[in-house]
């Protein structure tokens, strides 16, 4: 069982490109090409795939081979939400995905952009320091001084490029930007034009090409969407992404994703399903405040998302590989669990300890196995 895996070609592949993480259109290039070649449905102007094919790319082909490739599911959750999102992107409204942290909003946005526009890299990261220039365009000052305002001196923003080439632009964490910066988007989204008063003639106005649209994401734990201006809200259709409802799916996802990440970082470690199951159970209990068998526990104030579970598994895996026997066990999980739970609230430690003393203890006796290991590993909880 503890047989070590050979390093996979995927790991080697990513090493040769020298990227920590390839953009989706490269990672899934084969799938996208297959989908495109088999796609005989009508495509909205500027789209690489038909809406149906986009859906298949994200929700999978259900084992069916398309153009010689079986498309695996990438997003676990409400497929109807994916349908609505795709349909929205084909309309003249932007798509705004909101939800708790780590619910795959960014992932969805990346997949949508890759499938619809062939690129997911036209992205703006919203922060408190985001300026209007970063959204519209800026200048190469050397050229500006030498030539004056010319198209050559203009440095396009991702938004500018997306409009010009008719592609999707991703705007991450849009609510973190100052309101006046957010409002720059209002006219762009409604008129679909961008004025460049410094340039002359045709260059002074950029008309968005078909295929252009914006996918925004916003985190409901951050400064809320209610602080967005009504004008901007009106230009978006909202979709709420929920945490994965089905425990089985969550386990499968955590196992697959963490396996992939560990592979990519060239680490050789066994991640077994039973360990992941326990980790996901712990996360779900502390997230919902209720165990699967109906016992009340204290909800952690920290967000315990699926993404967080992946990252705990990932760091526990690294830990096991460098310091352990290459077998990812409950002890490594326990050590990294603490880090995940204890982020911004010291009370969470108390809750975690209480959880160990009640739920973990009980299960260590009734279910045994990994739960018993986990209970033994409680010594790693800080005093």
Partner 1 sequence: MSPTAPKAELDPDAPPLVRALPWDQRVTYLPIRHHSPACAFHVAAVIREVRPDHVLVEGPRDATALIAHLLDSRTENPVAIYTTYIERRKNDAARHHGAYYPVCDYSPELAAFRTGAEVGAQLAFVDLTYPEMVVAEKVEPDDGVRSLQHERYLQRSQRLAQSCRRLNVRDADDLWDHLFEARYHGMESRSFFDGVLTYCAMGRSDYDESMIAAEAHDVREAAMKHAVDSVEGKVVIVTGGFHTVVLPDVVGREPRRVRLSNDADASTTLMRYNFEQLDALNGYASGMRSPEFYQRGWEGGSVVALVVELARQIRSNGGHSGTADVIAATTQVENLRRFRGHQSPTREDFIDAVRSVFVKGAMDVEGVAVLAQTQKFLTGTRTGAVPPEAGRPPIVQDFEREATRLGLRTESTAETGEKVLDLYRSTRHRDISRFFYRLRLIEVPYGTLSRGPDFVNAVETERLQEVWRYSWEPATESALIEKAKYGATLVEAAAAKLVEEFDDVIAAGVSSDAVRLIAEAYRCGLHEHGQRMLDRAKPIIAHDSSFASVATSCSLLTMLRFACEPLEAHNEDVVYTMAQQAWFRAAYLVPTLAGVQDSEATHLDALCGWRQDEDRIAADGDWRDARVTPLRQLLDDSQASPVFRGAACGLLFGDDELSVEELAQLVSGFIGGSDVTVGGRFVQGLMRASRSICFRAPGVLQEINQRLQEMSDGDFTSVLPHLRLAFSELTPRETDAVAQSVSDLLTEGEDAETAPSPAIAARSLEFTESDALLGSRVEAAVSQWLTRDDFGRLFDE
Ligand X SMILES: Nc1ncnc2c1ncn2[C@@H]1O[C@H](COP(=O)(O)OP(=O)(O)OP(=O)(O)O)[C@@H](O)[C@H]1O
By the 10 Å C-beta count (0-12 exposed, 13-18 middle, 19+ buried), 141 is classed as exposed
Give the single-character DSSP code of 332. Answer: H
Which tokens hold the place of 199? 């340039």
C-beta separation of 211 from 43 below 8 A: no
* Size of the residue set binding ligand X (CB under 6 A): 19
CB of 43 to partner 1, least distance (A): 12
* Least distance between Mg ion and beta carbon 27 (Å): 17
How many residues bind Mg ion (CB under 5 A)? The answer is: 1
Q: Does 103 engage in binding with ligand X (CB under 6 A)?
A: yes
CA distance 302 to 346: 10
Q: Report, in Å, the least distance between residue 53 CB and Mg ion.
A: 25
106 near Mg ion (CB under 5 A): yes
Nearer to ligand X, 117 or 217 (CB): 217
Report the candidate in 304, 164, 158, 317 with the shortest Cα–Cα distance to residue 244: 304
Q: Which candidate, 190, 171, 193, places its Cα nearest to that of 181?
A: 171
Report the residue from 35, 71, 107, 328 that binds ligand X according to the rule CB under 6 A.
Answer: 107
Q: At closest approach, how far in Å is the CB of 104 from Mg ion?
A: 8
Distance from C-alpha of 107 to C-alpha of 96, rounded to nearest angstrom: 13
C-alpha Rg value of the chain to the nearest Å:
23
- Within 93-152, the residues that bind partner 1 by CB under 8 A are 93, 98-99
Least distance from partner 1 to the Cβ atom of residue 123, Å: 23
Find the farthest-apart pair of alpha carbons in the chain and give their distance in angstroms, rounded.
Answer: 78
239 binds partner 1 (CB under 8 A): yes
Rounded to whole angstroms, the Cα distance separating 171 from 168 reads: 10
Tokens of 187: 């006219």
For residue 107, give every residue at least 6 positions away whose Cβ sits within 8 Å of its Cβ, in sequence order, or none. Answer: 74, 75
Does 257 bind ligand X (CB under 6 A)? Our answer is: yes
For Mg ion, which is the closer residue by CB, 128 or 142?
Answer: 128
Site map (CB under 8 A) of partner 1, residues 172-201, x = contact: ------------------------------
Among positions 226, 296, 379, 383, the unique one binding partner 1 when judged by CB under 8 A: 226
Does residue 268 interact with partner 1 by CB under 8 A?
Answer: no
Two structure tokens written together for 116:
């619809």
Distance CA 227, CA 115 (A): 31
Residues 6+ apart with CB under 8 A from 370: 274, 275, 277, 278, 330
Token output for 289: 């405040």
Report the residue from 8, 91, 292, 357 that binds partner 1 according to the rule CB under 8 A: 91
Q: Looking only at residues 358 through 377 of this chain, which bind ligand X when binding is defined by CB under 6 A?
A: none
Asked whether position 103 contacts Mg ion by CB under 5 A, the answer is no
Does the protein bind ligand X through residue 105 (CB under 6 A)? yes
Q: Which residue has the tokens 């153009």?
A: 67
Query: Pick from 94, 89, 97: which is nearest to 54 by CA?
Result: 89
Location of structure tokens 């990261």 = 125
Residues in the interface with partner 1 (CB under 8 A) total 29
Please answer whether residues 15 and 266 qualify as being in contact, where contact means their C-beta atoms are separated by less than 8 angstroms.
yes
Angstrom distances, CA of residue 320 to CA of 45, 48, 130, 215, 333: 50, 43, 40, 38, 9
Residue nearer to partner 1 on the CB measure, 83 or 198? 83
Q: Does 106 bind ligand X (CB under 6 A)?
A: yes
Q: Please, which of residues 39-58 interact with partner 1 by CB under 8 A? A: 51-52
Which range in 94-102, 156-164, 198-206, 262-270 contacts ligand X by CB under 6 A? Answer: 94-102
| Residue 84 contact, options ligand X, partner 1, Mg ion, none, Cβ 5-8 Å cut-off depending on partner type | partner 1
Span of 196-204, 234-242, 271-279, 300-308 interacting with partner 1 by CB under 8 A: 234-242
Where does this chain bind ligand X (CB under 6 A)?
A: 75-77, 99, 101-107, 217, 219, 244, 253, 257, 306-307, 310
Where does this chain bind partner 1 (CB under 8 A)?
A: 51-52, 59, 62, 79-80, 83-84, 86-88, 90-93, 98-99, 220, 224-226, 230, 233-234, 237-240, 242
Where does this chain bind Mg ion (CB under 5 A)?
A: 106
């Amino acid at each position: 069982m503890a047989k070590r895996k050979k390093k996979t070609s995927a790991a080697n592949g990513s090493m040769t490109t020298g990227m920590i993480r390839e953009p989706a259109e490269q990672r899934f290039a084969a799938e996208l090409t297959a989908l495109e070649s088999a796609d005989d449905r009508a495509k909205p102007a500027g789209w690489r795939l038909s809406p149906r094919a986009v859906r298949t790319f994200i929700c999978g082909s259900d084992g069916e081979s398309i153009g010689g490739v079986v498309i695996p599911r990438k997003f676990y959750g409400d497929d109807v939400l994916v349908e609505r999102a795709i349909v929205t992107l084909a309309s003249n409204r932007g798509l705004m995905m909101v939800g708790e942290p780590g619910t795959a909003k960014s992932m969805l946005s990346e997949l949508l952009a890759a499938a619809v526009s062939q690129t997911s890299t036209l992205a703006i990261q919203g922060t408190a320091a985001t300026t209007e220039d970063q959204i519209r365009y800026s200048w190469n000052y050397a050229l500006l001084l030498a030539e004056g305002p010319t198209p050559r001196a203009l440095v396009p923003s991702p938004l500018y490029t997306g409009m010009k080439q008719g592609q999707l632009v991703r705007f991450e964490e849009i609510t973190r930007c100052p309101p006046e910066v957010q409002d720059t988007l209002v006219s762009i989204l409604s008129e679909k034009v961008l004025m460049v008063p410094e340039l002359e003639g045709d260059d002074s106005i950029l008309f968005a090409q078909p295929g252009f649209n914006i996918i925004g994401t916003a985190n409901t734990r951050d400064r809320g969407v209610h602080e967005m201006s009504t004008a901007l809200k009106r230009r978006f259709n909202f979709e709420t992404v929920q945490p994965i409802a089905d425990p089985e799916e969550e386990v499968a996802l955590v196992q697959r994703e963490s396996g992939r990440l560990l592979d990519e970082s060239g680490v050789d470690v066994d991640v077994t399903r039973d360990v992941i199951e326990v980790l996901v159970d712990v996360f779900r209990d502390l997230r919902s405040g209720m165990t699967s068998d109906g016992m009340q526990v204290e909800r952690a104030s920290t967000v315990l998302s699926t993404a967080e579970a992946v990252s705990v598994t990932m760091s526990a895996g690294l830990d096991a590989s460098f310091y352990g026997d290459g077998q990812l066990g409950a002890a490594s999980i326990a050590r990294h669990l603490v880090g995940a739970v204890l982020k911004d609230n010291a009370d969470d430690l108390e809750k975690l300890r209480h959880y160990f003393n009640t739920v973990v203890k009980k299960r260590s006796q009734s279910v045994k196995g990994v739960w018993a290991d986990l209970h033994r590993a409680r010594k790693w909880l800080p005093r």
